[in-house]
Structure 1
Amino acid sequence: MNRLITLLAVASLSVSAMAFDNTQAKQLDRFYSNMTQEALAKSKLTVSADAVMKMLREKKDFILLDVRTEAETSVVSLVTNNTVKIPLENLFNEKNLNKLPTDKPIVIVCHSGARELLAASGLQQIGFKNIQIVKGGIAALAVANSVKNAPVK
């Protein structure tokens, strides 16, 4: 009898360990199924560092969302009127989402680009429309920041 109970318990745990959230999986399938190679090639998701420098120089109305960690931003920081600093791990709490406008472009930057894509994907999934990521991240912005490209103060 004890053996039967143990077997049933193990079988029950095995089934629940293999389960997943089917509703969430369907939502993600709808979102990611549109990301074909052709669609990504035509996408306006990425923006060059030179284009961001031009936007800053021309004082365009947009948000430069820095999703790097506090440790990273303490070493190399973006200091513009456009910059909002929210580490990726804190981005999706309501207080921080309320800091982001829904009526103007948001350009996301991290160190090299990986976290930008995660942030952009998540923001798009919850309804933000005008999102772009800096191709190459802060490293590319550092290279693009020259006397010719730097915003005039």
Structure 2
Amino acid sequence: MNEITVQELKEKLDKGEDFQLIDVREEFEYETSNLGGQLIPLGGILIEADKVSKDKPVVVMCRSGKRSAAAIMQLQQLGYSNLTNLKGGILAWAAEVDPTLNVY
């Protein structure tokens, strides 16, 4: 499985690269803190798979990287090959990029 570090994600965001960021946490988690990605909770990832781009790179994130890895495995069964997991999730982002971010 492809992975990206939070520093690499920050570079992509800073450069304005064209990619999709999917957050597979629950709505209450997203409301606490998010990086501006599209919210598609893990439980609905297959139902809402049509919202995940096949035409550009997609970074999938969660709290720690475990749920996003599970989402990627599910989507790969539908033929997705453009997915990258955010290593360490939002916890790593808060620890390494933005310590002011609310985490839980």
- The normalised TM-score by structure 1 is 0.61
What letter matches 2:43 in structure 1?
A: E
What letter matches 1:54 in structure 2?
A: E
Equivalences for residues 30-69 of structure 1 within 5 A: 45-69=2-26
Highest CA radius of gyration, 1 or 2? 1
Match of 2:33 among 68, 76, 84: 76
Instruction: Answer whether contact 1:112 1:138 (CA < 8 A) is retained.
Output: yes
Q: Deviations over 1:42-101 (max 9, x none)?
A: x5x11111000000000010011100001111111222xxx21100011110xx211111
- The normalised TM-score by structure 2 is 0.88
Tell me the SS of whatever aligns to 1:64.
strand
Higher-helix-fraction structure: 1
Instruction: State the number of aligned residues.
Output: 98
Instruction: Answer whether contact 1:113 1:134 (CA < 8 A) is retained.
Output: yes
Matched, 1:128 2:85: no
Match of 2:42 among 88, 107, 127: 88
Matched, 1:99 2:56: no
What letter matches 1:48 in structure 2?
A: T
- How far is 1:145 from its partner? 2.4
Tell me the SS of whatever aligns to 1:98.
helix
RMSD: 1.2
What letter matches 1:90 in structure 2?
A: G
Kindly, what percent of the aligned residue pairs are identical?
35
Q: Which runs of 5+ in 1 are unaligned?
A: 1-42, 147-153
What letter matches 2:7 in structure 1?
A: D
Higher-strand-fraction structure: 2
Q: Which runs of 5+ in 2 are unaligned?
A: 99-104
Match of 1:109 among 45, 61, 68: 61
- How far is 1:106 from its partner? 0.7
- Work out the CA distance in 2 between the residues paired with 1:132 and 1:144: 19
Structure 1 stretches of 4+ with a deviation exceeding 6 A read: none
Tell me the SS of whatever aligns to 2:51.
coil
